[in-house]
Amino acid sequence: MNVNKWVKTQVQNTAAGALLSLEDFKLPLAKKIALEKALSELYRAGGLQRITKGLYYKPEQSPFGELPPTTRGLLDKLLLLYKDSIAYLTGLPAYTQMGLTTQVSTEYVIASDKPRRMPIVSGGTRIRFIPSYVKTAVQDTYLLQILDAIREMENIPATTPEKSSVLLRLRIKELKRDQQDELAQLALNYPPSCRAFVGLVLESLGKKRLAQTLAQTLNPSSRYRLKIDKDTFPNYRNWYIR
């Protein structure tokens, strides 16, 4: 099979606006170099745009010019491309969806066990990558978003850490029992200050067994400077929070 001709035919038959990764062509590993060469030739000829290594875009035209790839489509591809076991959306868009802030951002954040160093910019969208604390597959990534929000509680814009602490307690309270169990286990991968806050919240919700699991991981000589609503969490000192 002539890989070059075959790839060109496949791209011609692909709808405009599509994002194409090497995996989409389903060629054996032995054909990978030929595939990359064929895609590079199409890129140089103007038939494809290169988003990043291994990811291309077939441009879609409108009466006003060339359209960028859709943000959702681009994120979905990058979540697959930049992971070994886990990749998920986090950061400000996730915190906005969680109701922690009304701030709107054109920057998306992907947490991954295989993050890239440089951000990707497409149209008016910027996508950056950070290392994930958890390195294994997690089905319910909403729990990781909650833990990330706790870790960044003092940096969430258009709100205060005190307000965020109350809202995060509410979000954890809304979880089902098995989700709260999983949250406590996932928190073990996060820094001690994050574990302390999760334990404090679970204790305030009457989840003493889960709270005790987290308490046992904390150093009694440590102190965690967290700005939380102390009226909501009167037992904060029990968790070495100051």
pLDDT confidence of residue 123: 85
DSSP readout, 7-67?
A: HHHHHHTSPTT-EEEGGGG---GGGHHHHHHHHHHHHHTTS-EEEETTEEE--EEETTEEE
Measured CA to CA, the distance from residue 12 to residue 25 in angstroms comes to 13
Model confidence over 38-58: pLDDT tens digits? 999 999 999 999 999 999 999
User: Within 13 Å and on the Cβ side, how many CA atoms surround 159?
Assistant: 26
Model confidence over 222-234: pLDDT tens digits? 999 999 999 999 9
Please list the rounded mean pLDDT of every run of 10 residues in the chain (242 residues): 91 96 92 94 95 94 91 96 97 98 95 97 94 98 99 97 99 99 99 99 98 98 97 97 96
pLDDT confidence of residue 124: 86
Q: Coil, strand or helix: which one is 121?
A: strand
For each of the domains in the chain, give its residue range(s) and CATH number, in order of start.
3-69 (1.10.10), 73-239 (no CATH)
64-82: b (≥16 Cβ within 10 Å) or e: eeeebbebeebbebbbebb
pLDDT confidence of residue 102: 96
Whether the Cβ atoms of residue 82 and residue 114 lie closer than 8 Å to each other: yes
